[in-house]
Structure 1
Amino acid sequence: MPTWTQKRQTLEIVNEVQTKVSRYLLTITLINAGLGVVVGTTMYFVDLPNALLWGVLAGSFNFIPYLGPLGVLIILTGVAILSFEELNQILLVPGVFLFLTTLEGQLITPLILGRSLSLNPLMIFLGIAFGIWFWGILGAFIAVPLLVITKIICDHIPSLTPVNEFFARSWLS
């Protein structure tokens, strides 16, 4: 950077990126741990063997957006088929898990991340969907950090204010 002002601005951007990406990773970890606790507790109450294991598996696999919960859903369905004889008990396990992960993935996580990262929850959802479409599983991992970095850069460059407002504005209100 040729001037001290530009160097200082670049350093501010880098520091803010580091802070917000760290906050994102912590938030996702806490959300996934919470999901794991809820899934484990729920599986205990529906009498599925090894409820703690299913909670840990659900929380761990949830780091892989969309595909992780799908894998756990398939595993839990198989375990329910092997563990129960009645169809209503078998269907209860994947039904409850699907409800919990849908609630977490489509409502809770976008709302929490939207507030903590000052990003529109819809942009988070679209960013992850685009990341999966464009780069596959790796895209799902890097979509939100890339959105955060883009928004921070737009925060600091006055000519990008319209883009910044697009990322930050809540279209739902």
Structure 2
Amino acid sequence: MDGRGARALMLAACAAVVSYGIHFWSPVLVPVLLSLCVAAAGQPVFEGAQKRGAPSYLAAALAMLVVMGAVFGFAVLMAVAGNELADSLPKYERAIHQFQTQAAIELQQHHLTRLSVSVARFDFGKTSTAAAEGMLSSAAGIFGNVALVLVLAAFFMLERAVFYQKLSRIPSAPRARDVFHRALGDVQKYLWLKTLMSGATGILAGALCAALDVPNAVLWGLVAFALNYAPNVGSLVAAILPVGLTLILRGPQPAAALAAGYLVINVVIGNVVEPKVMGQKLGLSPLVVVVAMVAWGFLLGPVGALLSTPLTMVFKITVGHSDDLRWVSRLLGNFSEARDTTEPPLRGSLAPREAQ
């Protein structure tokens, strides 16, 4: 095996070890990563308060109050909408049972006996309860450490200035400081713009459900807002429950209209508005975004799926400042970066032979 193959094998082994470590330490890493994102999102409030003469600790407290207010408001809305859903569950169970019985009869009339029996025996109540418990446990895992996340985020914001001073004493500080500053700036822009786009998606989805007289329209709007943070597929997943419920309660035509409305919202927001607003800020290939969501979701759970894009952005920026790994950054980049030839040629034994 030549030097190139040995280095590639070593790189793959290191990636496997790091991935296992991330998965193993996910209970520790998840609150830390959430606090870093909260700190990045609250940094503009922190800096704005400091510019107006507020002490650092007071600015950090104000930023955390803003974040806590947003989280508390979202939690209250979800609780109210969830109570409305709980009150409507008996009606939904009766409608689902009728739909299930009718579907089994239709299948039996078409001589699909086995499928008809399976549909008739399907225990929707048990399945829905298990799904609800899974969703609640995931939500509890995310929000259960809110106090820890907020405290860590406050310390991260307070530590930022000291961290810059520490970097200035390191021989390679200019490059490390550039990486840190660019990664923080890109993550901040992504979080704020993604929140804006998710808010627009949630409002439009809720308005669509209300216009089509879908029950619990506020809940479905909040679900669309939350799941839109999962890139590309989150907003589509958010449509499954309201469309399925509409199919059972009102029939195929209203369900098809609702599905078409969700599709239009996703196409307009995800493929027209969001790229124009964000421009090339992400710098990631669409395929990379989807694969990263799956990979980070496997390593860190639901939080990893939600934070997959900023985590991949930070990774891309970091390896982009390494001569030996810049090619990885280019592979993760979008088409415009692939056409960019202004960067210096790749160096190192892992670079393609044509570039050496």
TM class by smaller structure:
0.7 to 0.9
Q: Deviations over 1:88-134 (max 9, x none)?
A: 1244324533x246537974598466721222222112211222344
What is the CA-CA distance between 1:139 and the residue it aligns to? 2.4
What is the CA-CA distance between 1:140 and the residue it aligns to? 0.6
Q: Deviations over 1:47-79 (max 9, x none)?
A: 335544432332133335546753552145325
- The yes-or-no answer on 1:73 pairing with 2:240 is yes
Task: Give the structure 2 partner of residue 92 of structure 1.
Answer: 257
Unpaired segments ≥5 residues, structure 2: 1-166, 340-356
Q: CA separation in 1, counterparts of 2:308 and 2:213? A: 37
Task: Give the structure 1 partner of residue 287 of structure 2.
Answer: 122
- Contact kept in structure 2, 1:77 and 1:94, CA below 8 Å: no
- Contact kept in structure 1, 2:202 and 2:222, CA below 8 Å: yes
Task: Give the structure 2 partner of residue 137 of structure 1.
Answer: 302
Tell me which moved more, 133-142 or 159-168: 133-142
Task: Give the structure 1 partner of residue 3 of structure 2.
Answer: none
Rg larger in 1 or in 2? 2
Q: Deviations over 1:11-61 (max 9, x none)?
A: 221111111111121122112112112212322332335544432332133
Alignment partner of 1:164 out of 311, 329, 338: 329
Residue 78 to residue 58, structure 1, CA distance change in 2 (3 Å): same
- The yes-or-no answer on 1:13 pairing with 2:179 is yes
- RMSD in angstroms over aligned alpha carbons? 3.5
Unpaired segments ≥5 residues, structure 1: none
Q: CA separation in 2, counterparts of 1:118 and 1:71? A: 26
Q: Normalising by structure 1, report the TM-score.
A: 0.73
Corresponding residue SS for 2:284: coil
- The yes-or-no answer on 1:148 pairing with 2:317 is no
What is the CA-CA distance between 1:138 and the residue it aligns to? 2.7
- State the one-letter code of the partner of 2:267: L
Q: Normalising by structure 2, report the TM-score.
A: 0.40
Count of aligned pairs: 170
Corresponding residue SS for 1:119: coil
- State the one-letter code of the partner of 1:10: A
Percent same amino acid at aligned positions? 20
Q: CA separation in 2, counterparts of 1:26 and 1:123? A: 21
- State the one-letter code of the partner of 2:201: L
Task: Give the structure 2 partner of residue 40 of structure 1.
Answer: 206
